[in-house]
Amino acid sequence: MSLRLAFDVRTTHETGISRYGLSILKHFPLHFSGARLQLYVLHRPRQAATLRDIVSDRDREYVHLIEIVEDEQYVRRSQWVRSFLLEEKIDLLYTTHYLLDPLSPVPFVYTIHDLLYFKYPELAPSNSTFSERFGVAELDILQESLSSLSEYRRSADAVLSNDSLFFQYFAAVNRCLATKAAHIVTVSQTSKSDITHYLGINESKISIVLPGVSREVFYRRDAEDVRKVQQQFAIEGPYCLYVGLGYPHKRLRWLTETLEQVKSRLPIKWRFIVVGGDTILYEDVAEYVEQSDLANFVYFTGRVTDEQLAALYSGASAYVTASLNEGNNLPPLEALNCGCEVIAPAIPSFLEPLGRDAHFYSVNDRERLGDMIVHALTGRLERKAVGSVYRPDWDQSAQDLLAVLENIWTGLEH
């Protein structure tokens, strides 16, 4: 009897979580047959083209693409999805996102990448910020859903969040889902420790599936590839690179402020390249850049292709991040695979995956960070990107996840 698995790849934005899910899914069918597993991929309409490229014609016999047309945004509570899971006799639901429907009618496994807002509740979106991003109607849905999670709420939640409904829902729904889940997947030992600490879950209920690196894409590119991408973005001198969104915990504004402090020590025509979509999240950073002396030095590329990104990594003096917390951040892993030096704060979620291959600074040490950036752009930064730490490819990640899910299903059957 084959496992009927629903694999939900829906995310609210095209982020690292989205890449994690789609990259694993791409390699998933290589390791099972229709006699072993029937896979139902739940996706948003905007993901349809990508998934058609990922799922080969050969696999269509046992990989079924299910487009969810209901406009679920942050809160997951689709009656259509519930009915689908029952009608198709789904044995197990898995999602790569940290949210799913607490009323799922079938057993579920999900991935928790990190618990940022438990560690930094002050960074949780306010009611107005949440409404601006998702709409007032979604805030109403969030509040309504929160009322059904009363047994998972804590009196301290409202105090910690300064009345942010988002934080109160985040805290309650995470406690609920972690309690109800058949199993939890996470992406690092750091996140596993956070799950046991903040959600009170026994570590035997948690498995680590490390994110992979697409080695067929992210490898050191030759001088011609680097020259072409630099021409595309009008990069003339040495540059450091940032890849990702502009959420508060990423501290992109703090990073640009540090750049301004060391600007006089930097070579002529240096650049700081910011790569990533959803540029609305960079508004405060872009405004700061325009009002400072950095307007000619900080450049926002928007979204780029993976080929362009690999070449940008290959030509960069260093990849730089200032994030306060991550699960298992993909850009520095991709950068290292392209031979790019990585500069990161010395927090567990970077120390664990990067090891001896990166340059670390104390999380609030602007002076040390500034010195490292200057040394990188002037060619004086010690080489550390030598690949001393094991990092799987996505094929291995897919095998690891499949093993976890099949093991959980076997346990449920018995």
Q: Please check whether residues 183 and 299 belong to one and the same domain.
A: no
| Contact present, 401 and 394 (Cβ < 8 Å) | no
Query: Do 240 and 338 reside in the same domain of the chain?
Result: yes
Within a domain: 388? no
Give the residue numbers spanning the domain of 10: 3-212+393-413
> How, if at all, do strands 3-8 and 92-95 pair?
parallel
Taking residue 84's Cβ as centre, other Cβ atoms within 10 Å add up to 17
What CATH number does the domain containing 36 carry? 3.40.50.2000
Are residues 239 and 308 located together in one domain of the fold?
yes
* pLDDT tens profile 74-92: 999 999 999 999 999 999 9
How many domains does the chain fold into? 2
Task: Name the residue among 27, 34, 38, 179 with its Cα closest to residue 110.
Answer: 179
111-140 residue pLDDT tens: 999 999 999 999 999 999 999 889 999 999
93: nearest Cα among 193, 1, 210, 4? 4
* Interval 17-73: pLDDT, tens: 888 999 999 999 989 888 899 999 999 999 999 999 988 888 888 999 999 988 788
Strand partners, 297: none
155 with 281, same domain: the answer is no
Query: Do 144 and 130 touch, CB atoms closer than 8 A?
Result: no
Please check whether residues 158 and 278 belong to one and the same domain: no
Residues 357 and 409 reside in one and the same domain: no
Asked if residue 118 belongs to a domain, the reply is yes
366: helix, strand or coil? helix
Inter-residue contact 147 to 172 (CB < 8 Å): no
Q: Is 386 contained in some domain? A: no
Question: Do 400 and 355 fall into the same domain?
Answer: no
Q: Which letter does DSSP use for residue 31 in this model?
A: G
CA distance 147 to 137: 16
Do 89 and 202 share a domain, yes or no?
Answer: yes
Residue located via tokens 């690179």: 241
Does one domain contain both 307 and 186?
Answer: no
Q: Is residue 384 part of a domain?
A: no
Is there a single domain that holds both residue 401 and residue 359? no
Residue 147, pLDDT > 70, answer: yes
For residue 81, give the nearest of 12, 6, 5 by alpha carbon.
6
| 149 and 85 within one domain | yes
pTM of the model: 0.94
Query: Are 130 and 264 members of one domain?
Result: no
